Amino acid sequence: MVAIKNREQYERTCERVEELLAVVDNDTPVSDKNYVELDLLSGLVSEYEEVYQTINSPTLPEILRLRMAEMGLNQKGLAGLLNVSPSRVSEYLNGTSEPTLKVAREMGKKLAIDPHILLGV
């Protein structure tokens, strides 16, 4: 089977997938030529995306900045919420320090941060 080799082929294939999605639905028989084409092209698009468009997990500093923005907190406010000093929050945001287990638990509870991110897994 052929693979998508570059960005232009990827974009053209995605355009064709969009066209096919307009004519294929849940009632389309699996033997229909449009269904077969859609199935094949979707597989090629998926393979290309796995190789060239991987999405990395966010880092703790990125998540902290996002949560601060969502909650309307500044560094001082976040420090108060987590019972740490503002300078410690600055270190977390700069990536120069990692939270202790106790602080990580507080972040998980109060900021709803996934434990995998907190542990760097």
User: Same domain for 79 and 113?
Assistant: yes
Does the residue 43 lie in any domain? yes
Asked if residue 115 and residue 69 are part of one domain, the reply reads yes
Query: Angle at the Cα of 21 (from 20 to 26), degrees rounded to 5?
Result: 115
Instruction: State pTM to two decimals.
Output: 0.58
Cα four-point dihedral sign 107, 111, 112, 117: negative
- Residues 76 and 112 reside in one and the same domain: yes
46 inside domain: yes
Give residue 86's domain range.
60-119
Give 66-121 pLDDT, tens digit per residue: 999 999 999 999 999 999 999 999 999 999 999 999 999 999 999 998 888 887 76
Q: Are 64 and 107 in the same domain?
A: yes
* Domain CATH number, residue 107: 1.10.260.40
For residue range 32-56, list pLDDT tens digits in order: 999 999 999 999 999 999 888 877 8
